[in-house]
Amino acid sequence: MTSIDQPASDTAPSKAAFRDAMARIGAAVHLVTTDGPAGRAGLTATAFAPVTDEPPHLLVCLNRESRTAALIRENGVFAINTLAAGQQELADVFAGRTHLHGAARFSHGLWREGALGVPVLADALASFVLRTRSIETLGTHQVVIGALTGITTGEAHAGLVYTRRAYHAL
Amino acid sequence: MTSIDQPASDTAPSKAAFRDAMARIGAAVHLVTTDGPAGRAGLTATAFAPVTDEPPHLLVCLNRESRTAALIRENGVFAINTLAAGQQELADVFAGRTHLHGAARFSHGLWREGALGVPVLADALASFVLRTRSIETLGTHQVVIGALTGITTGEAHAGLVYTRRAYHAL
């Protein structure tokens, strides 16, 4: 380990400092969707990670007050639809920037019923259908881990990446 | 919801199909590091997500057999160093592609001792110092959630994003 004399410049992790640091970090953009007895909903999320491929599991972090998180808790199934380059309009719709809520958001985009009855975006970069395995609440959010039951990859080869508060094709 | 007649094309989530789908999804590249009574280690990871900003927490998913995961379990502290554009050599070193292991990896890069004694990369896009809050094991991997105690943002403004099995500056 090379040491340098420069004093540590760690700043207190205020909410603003945390958000500014996070805004530098590129992340793919996903529409997290659910449907079932409790109803249909979806939102835009970038807090996503693969957990393990043996057996395949993915996670997303969702605001626990969101309608989508509430319905995933009740339906027990969800999809993660990774957006392709050019799909920023859908990202905006599902982020609530057009003031559409609940099932009304699905009037945008070309959707089909995927495995387990969840809404799968037909022209996503990739879609993952999952059964909820665990939900851990932490502050304002929940870490939702799902066991993968289906994968669809689309024809698109470039994705949508969000960083510095803007969308980029990559 | 617009329905389309196209039959569902979900494929069985084999490990190969899962990896192929994941390879399409862009992700920032991080060096996850630890130091303390159990020793120093670090590895390259892309499975990262912000959990909540009230209070600030982040997570990474690590192979539980890795030396870094073992030492994070023992030290109880770690850092997530998000790489800037141009730092792919460090990504390769900490991914084991140069066959360096344990503390030897830190001979590459300019490191300082951050808060809690963890190795912080001086010229990272951003660095986060964390105290381990929870570790959940799932198959081959562990979801490690950390409570944020320090943030450093560097002078770099473009990050390193990994997708389609290659590094990109973004």
Q: Which residues contact A137 (CB under 8 A, 6 or more apart)?
A: A64
Q: What gap in Å lies between CA B11 and CA B13, rounded to an integer?
A: 6
Residue A3 lies in a domain: no
Average pLDDT, chain A: 92
pTM: 0.93
Look up the CATH number of the domain holding residue A64: 2.30.110.10
Q: What gap in Å lies between CA B31 and CA B119, rounded to an integer?
A: 10
DSSP for A4-54, written as a single string:
--SPP-PBP--HHHHHHHHHTS-EE-EEEEE-STT--EEEEE--EEEEEET
Give me the pLDDT at residue A155, please: 86
Higher pLDDT, residue A155 or B68: B68
Give me the pLDDT at residue B6, please: 39
Q: Chain B contact for A162, CB < 8 A?
A: no
Closest residue in B to A112 (Cα–Cα) = B3
Q: Chain A contact for B146, CB < 8 A?
A: no
B64-68's contacts with Cβ under 8 Å and 24+ in sequence apart are B64/B137, B64/B140, B64/B141, B64/B142, B65/B140, B66/B41, B67/B41, B67/B43, B67/B101, B67/B102, B68/B32, B68/B33, B68/B34, B68/B41, B68/B42, B68/B43
B121 closest CA partner among A90, A11, A39, A1: A1
Q: What gap in Å lies between CA B34 and CA B119, rounded to an integer?
A: 6
**Contact residues on chain B for A51, CB-CB shorter than 8 A:** 47, 61, 138-139, 141, 143
Chain B closest CA to A17's CA: distance in Å?
8
Residue B152 lies in a domain: yes
Query: Does residue B146 sit in helix, strand or coil?
Result: strand
Q: Which residues contact A143 (CB under 8 A, 6 or more apart)?
A: A59, A60, A61, A134, A135, A136, B51, B59, B143, B145
Helical H segments across B2-158, by residue range: 15-23, 67-75, 88-94
Give me the pLDDT at residue B12, please: 54
- In this predicted structure, the answer to whether residue A3 has a pLDDT above a threshold of 80 is no
Each residue's pLDDT tens digit, B54-100:
899 999 999 999 999 999 999 999 999 999 999 999 999 999 999 99
Residue B8 lies in a domain: no
Residue A7 confidence class, pLDDT cut points 50, 70, 90: very low
Give me the pLDDT at residue A12, please: 54
| CB-CB contact of A156 with A125 (8 Å) | yes
Residue A14 confidence class, pLDDT cut points 50, 70, 90: confident
What's the Cα-to-Cα distance from B126 to each of A22, B54, B81, B151, rounded to whole Å? 8, 19, 6, 7
Residue B17 lies in a domain: no
> Does ipTM top 0.95?
no
Identify which of B18, B51, B149 has the shortest CB distance to residue A13. Answer: B149
Residue B14 lies in a domain: no
> What's the average model confidence in pLDDT over A124-137?
97
Q: Are A150 and B10 in contact (CB < 8 Å)?
A: yes
Helical (H) or strand (E) element with B137: strand B126-138
Residue B147 lies in a domain: yes
CA angle A67, B59, A25 (to 5 degrees): 85
Residue A156 confidence class, pLDDT cut points 50, 70, 90: confident
Helical (H) or strand (E) element with A72: helix A67-75
Tell me which residues of chain B have a pLDDT lower than 50. Answer: 1-10
Q: What gap in Å lies between CA B88 and CA B98, rounded to an integer?
A: 12
Q: Structural domain tally of chain A?
A: 1
Q: In terms of residue numbers, what domain contains B64?
A: 27-169
Residue A165 lies in a domain: yes
Residue B85 lies in a domain: yes
Q: Which residues of B36-49 are buried (b: 16+ CB within 10 A; e: fewer)?
A: beeebbbbbbbbbb
Q: Chain B contact for A168, CB < 8 A?
A: yes
